Amino acid sequence: MARSGQKKKEAGAGRFYDRIADVHNVALKINGYRGSVAKYLRSLGLELSETSNVLDAGSGTGIVTLGFRDSGLPFKRTVALDLSHRSLGVAAVEYRKDKRSNGRVIDPVQGNVLQLPFADETFDLVLSCGVLEYVPLDDGLQEMARVLVPGGKLVFIPVKPSIVGSVLEFLYKFKIHPIENVRRISQQYFNLVGNHEFPLNEPISWSKTIFLLEKK
């Protein structure tokens, strides 16, 4: 019964984002999330190469995917996975319009973050922003660890407890995971490399924090 309830919740989240995809995309653009993510990724010194595969798990309308592209980091393939068909459609338009992508293809995949349609150890880097709030944290982190190569990195951007976070929790119908739970559960599958706070002058700092995790 619990698993059935979770599936209904996930399906509901997909339909919800199908309805609000356009408005959500505009809101994220105004908030400058793309630039904040790009700057953070550039600061990490990630050991990626022209053979690296990257996954944005819960990519929504593509803001974080494009932020990765803006970082200038090398890669072979970028996959953007989301449950919402409409969000993927909005993202596809954004990718085509983006001049900085230099025509390099971003592969859209419709799918569930709890059942990623990829083989074990497929990706060198996984990005995930604002999606694991809809699922059991342990299950989501375990699945992301599964598709990462040993030593691969997860850039996990959860919603943090805050006034803005609480408003988003109500509006977007999710549940914030306490930061202590993120730290504890993530260390079952990852080494905790760092927990970054965005500068206060960046709107993303009002609701998000970042964990850099390395697969054990």
Kindly state the average pLDDT of the residues 5-18.
63
The β-bridge relationship of strands 210-215 and 148-157 is antiparallel
If one compares 137 and 7, the residue with the highest pLDDT of the two is 137
Q: Please, which pLDDT band fits residue 57 given cuts at 50, 70 and 90?
A: very high
Determine the Cα–Cα distance for residues 87 and 76; give it in Å rounded to an integer.
Answer: 24
Determine the Cα–Cα distance for residues 24 and 131; give it in Å rounded to an integer.
Answer: 14
Residue 6 clears pLDDT 70, i.e. is over it = no
DSSP letter assigned to residue 8: H
Residue 2 clears pLDDT 50, i.e. is over it = no
- Name the pTM for this structure: 0.91
**Contact (Cβ atoms closer than 8 angstroms) between residue 213 and residue 193:** yes
Q: What is the DSSP string of 101-154?
A: GTT--EEEEE--TTS-SS-TT-EEEEEEES-GGGS-HHHHHHHHHHHEEEEEEE
Determine the Cα–Cα distance for residues 189 and 216; give it in Å rounded to an integer.
Answer: 6
Q: Please, which pLDDT band fits residue 7 given cuts at 50, 70 and 90?
A: low
Residue 49, phi-psi category: left (phi > 0), alpha (psi -120 to 50), beta (remainder): beta
Say how far residue 181 (Cα) sits from the centre of its chain: 18
Amino acid at 171: L
If one compares 20 and 84, the residue with the highest pLDDT of the two is 84
Residue 62 clears pLDDT 60, i.e. is over it = yes
Determine the Cα–Cα distance for residues 101 and 132; give it in Å rounded to an integer.
Answer: 27
Determine the Cα–Cα distance for residues 111 and 116; give it in Å rounded to an integer.
Answer: 7
Residue 178 clears pLDDT 80, i.e. is over it = yes
Residue 103 clears pLDDT 90, i.e. is over it = no
Q: Please, which pLDDT band fits residue 58 given cuts at 50, 70 and 90?
A: very high
Residue 99 clears pLDDT 80, i.e. is over it = no
Query: What's residue 1's pLDDT?
Result: 46
Kindly state the average pLDDT of the residues 124-144.
97
